[in-house]
A and B are shown apart, each in its own frame.
Chain A
Amino acid sequence: MNDMKTFDIEKVRADFPIFAREVHGRPLIYLDSGASAQKPTVVLDAVQKAYAETYANVHRGVHYLSQTSTELYEASRETIRAHMNAASIDEVIFTKNATESINLVAYSYGAANLKEGDEIILSTLEHHSNIVPWQLIAEKTGAVVKAVPIDEHGEFMLDAYLEMLGPRTKIVAVTHISNAIGTIVPVREVIDAAHDAGAVVLIDGSQAVPHMKIDMQALGADFYVFTGHKVFGPTGIGVLYGKAALLDKMPPFLGGGDMINRVTFEKTTFAKGHSKFEAGTPPIVQAIGLGTAIDYVNAIGFDKIAAHEQMLLAYATEQLSQINSLRIIGQAKHKAAIISFTLDDVHPHDIGTIVDRAGVAIRVGHHCAQPLMDHFDVAATARASFALYNNRADVDALVASIRDVQEIFG
């Protein structure tokens, strides 16, 4: 196979030390990267080194280590800027996760710009973290939250969306890729249409960044968020990209150290650029780890990662489809390597427990996407989500473990 020439899966797997371990006496079959991804040695080393050799607080001191730490932290921001093709480092804000990034936009931009009767458009595909902050801000401002429907395949209904846009639409916040069923949303069309209607757009890229190259200037989103732990980085670090023209006009989200220009009890003036939104000591080492993770995936190359994952998606879809009583939930034309499924009469929690005994880690539940579950009239599904380190043997192990489930439930 010429697959090996372009993408050496064994080499990639060897980069992730966790695959050396067993679970319940079986090799680990990790199919839960959609919830959180495993970490390559380079990231672990970068984290270790940042603590062991260069650690100090950032932006605060004149001493040597503070300077080194600041340089590494800021170098990571530049890595992420370049990776996203943002126009400036001031457009790249470090947060603690995607959830915080979305809340920042809702509370800062939303609270300052929404009025009674204004509309916030989300979609049925959203993760709760791209629903609840908007509901909270809608309650405060009198704005209204609406959701773009999806069809029976789990496809974002672009026509319905275009109908929903109007003069009252102020914010459109939709996911790039559904975490629960893998649908890739045509975000370019979503953004262009929203801009025509005069609305600003936030894209939740949490599930996209591990699987595809993103380009802020080509995409044109006003805000784009993702979370570090899903893209092979540490937990506790997230990113908010925002267009400088919008960020400059937005009030701060959290107040504290590092985000000020001058503080007096009469009046405080705020820092400019990304600093205005990074109050307090940031997740320094986590940011350094994330920069290393982004370098790691770029060194492999997203064209190869995407081709490998699409191969796995096709193989897994074909294999799973052969299991009687298995129903794949979400069959969009363009999907990331995420497969949600149900088995007749067997609750996903029972599936999860049984396959786990075979060393297979999948996610079962509502995937923090209850409106989406309601759409498909299921309370929960089992979900296998793939990343660059998965292989066909993982798919075979999943299928074999589902046969165990069928055997037990007869």
Chain B
Amino acid sequence: MFDDLRELYQEVILDHSKHPRNFRHPEDANHEAHGYNPLCGDTVNVYLKMGHNGLIEDAAFEGKGCAISLASASMMTEIIKGKTETQAKTIFDGFQKLVKGEDDNFDAGEDTERLMVLAGVKQFPMRVKCATLARHAMSSAMDGAEETSTE
């Protein structure tokens, strides 16, 4: 089988998609947003608990989607928890460039390695939106918008 498929669907991604982390709706979430990809019908609801100074105290999600979108949502919740809004947005921007193949020197500090597992998506342009749906919904949640769509 093809190496790029193996890279796209590596163990970590399959693990996150089959056992998504933070797959829940926290009662005390104070920011949430709904993400929708009209091309495939995938949906994600993200829930954030934002504290003082833009600190993300909790991040969780629920939704339906392909392995890539579920894994990406799951990993993102882990990564942004404990970060500030500004830090999270810097990571999102870098991640966006990474999966679109626009940045070969991706650096997200200690999270670089974890996010690099999604870099395989750049070989599959049709799937970039799957990888970025959750990240867009999370940005919207921080900004107070309630709906995001990939289109």
Contact = CB atoms under 8 A, between A and B. Distances in A.
Given A347-B65, A349-B130, A410-B14, A354 B5 contact: yes
A127 to B, nearest CB: 15
A380 B40 CA distance: 7
Contact of A407 (B1, B43, B67, B68): B1
Interface string A344-356: 0111111001100
A410 B19 CA distance: 14
A112 B66 CA distance: 45
What class of interface size applies to chain B in its complex with A? Answer: 20 to 34
B40 A357 contact: no
B81 interface: no
Given A365-B40, A379-B42, A379-B64, A350 B9 contact: yes
A244 B95 CA distance: 59
Contacts of B6: 408
Nearest to A26: B2
Interface residues of A, number: 22
B5 A347 contact: no
Contacts of A348: 40, 66
Find the residue from B2, B39, B43, B127 having the highest chain A CB count within 10 A.
B2
Residue of A347, A357, A365, A407 with most chain B CB atoms under a 10 A cut-off:
A347
A366 B14 contact: no
B102 interface: no
Nearest to A365: B40
B40 A364 contact: yes
A25 B121 CA distance: 20
A322 to B, nearest CB: 21
Given A353-B124, A380-B40, A404 B64 contact: no
Nearest to A351: B66
Interface in B95-130: 124, 126-127, 130
A331 to B, nearest CB: 22
Given A349-B66, A350-B67, A364-B40, A24 B9 contact: no
Given A24-B2, A407-B1, A350 B66 contact: yes
A129 to B, nearest CB: 15
Interface in A365-410: 365-366, 370, 373, 379-380, 404, 407-410
Interface string B1-26: 11011101100001000100000000
B124 to A, nearest CB: 6
B68 A350 contact: yes
Interface string B41-52: 111000000000
Interface in B67-95: 67-68
Contacts of A353: 5, 8, 124, 126-127
A24 B3 CA distance: 12
Contact of B40 (A366, A404, A410): A366
A348 B42 CA distance: 11
Interface in B27-46: 39-43
Contacts of A379: 40-43, 64
Nearest to B127: A353
Contacts of A380: 40-41
B94 to A, nearest CB: 24
A256 B35 CA distance: 42
A373 B64 CA distance: 14
A409 B43 CA distance: 21
Contacts of B8: 353
Contacts of B2: 24, 357
Nearest to B2: A357
A287 B8 CA distance: 43
Which of A349, A373, A379 has the most CB atoms of chain B within a 10 A radius of its CB?
Answer: A349
Contacts of B65: 347
B5 A408 contact: yes
Given A348-B40, A349-B130, A365-B41, 18 more contacts: A345-B18, A346-B67, A349-B40, A350-B9, A353-B5, A353-B126, A354-B5, A365-B39, A370-B41, A373-B41, A379-B40, A379-B41, A379-B42, A404-B5, A407-B1, A408-B6, A409-B9, A409-B67
21 contacts: A24-B2, A347-B66, A348-B40, A348-B66, A350-B9, A350-B66, A350-B67, A353-B124, A354-B5, A364-B40, A373-B41, A379-B40, A379-B41, A379-B42, A379-B64, A380-B40, A404-B1, A407-B1, A408-B5, A408-B6, A409-B14
